[in-house]
């Protein structure tokens, strides 16, 4: 069993069947990994390294944007439920709006 890292996609898999990955040069088998959060790992040639500050800023900004979108979606869902409970809209209207 091995741990593998895909140098193009950044996917890291643990305890995999080594022969399933050994023929693909884009998979690093049992690479040394940096001592940082996995989201900050990237490939540099045939090594897994920690991102520099600029790359980390991009990852952090994307995480913040994603979190904001999830929060907004939850607020919209709650508002729709509130309107439905107040009989201001029918739940069927909500389903039709999603199509």
Is the pLDDT confidence value at 6 over 90?
A: yes
Query: CA–CA separation, 1 vs 4, rounded Å?
Result: 10
pTM of the model: 0.64
Token pair belonging to 23? 């023929």
Q: Are 52 and 33 in contact (CB under 8 A)?
A: no
Position 74 scores a pLDDT of 84
Position 91 scores a pLDDT of 63
Task: List the chain domain ranges.
Answer: 2-51, 54-98
φ and ψ at residue 34, rounded to 5 degrees: -70, 155
Position 72 scores a pLDDT of 83
Q: pLDDT per residue over 44-79, tens digit each?
A: 999 999 999 999 999 998 888 777 888 888 888 888
Position 76 scores a pLDDT of 84
């Amino acid at each position: 069993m091995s741990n593998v890292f895909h140098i193009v996609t950044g996917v890291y898999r643990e305890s995999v069947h080594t022969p399933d990955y050994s023929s693909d040069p884009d998979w690093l088998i049992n690479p040394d990994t940096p001592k940082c959060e996995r989201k900050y790992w990237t490939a540099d040639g045939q090594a897994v390294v920690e991102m520099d500050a600029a790359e980390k800023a991009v990852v952090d900004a994307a995480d913040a944007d994603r979190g904001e979108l999830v929060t907004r979606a939850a607020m919209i869902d709650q508002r729709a439920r509130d309107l439905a409970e107040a009989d201001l809209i029918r739940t069927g209207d909500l389903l039709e709006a999603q199509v």
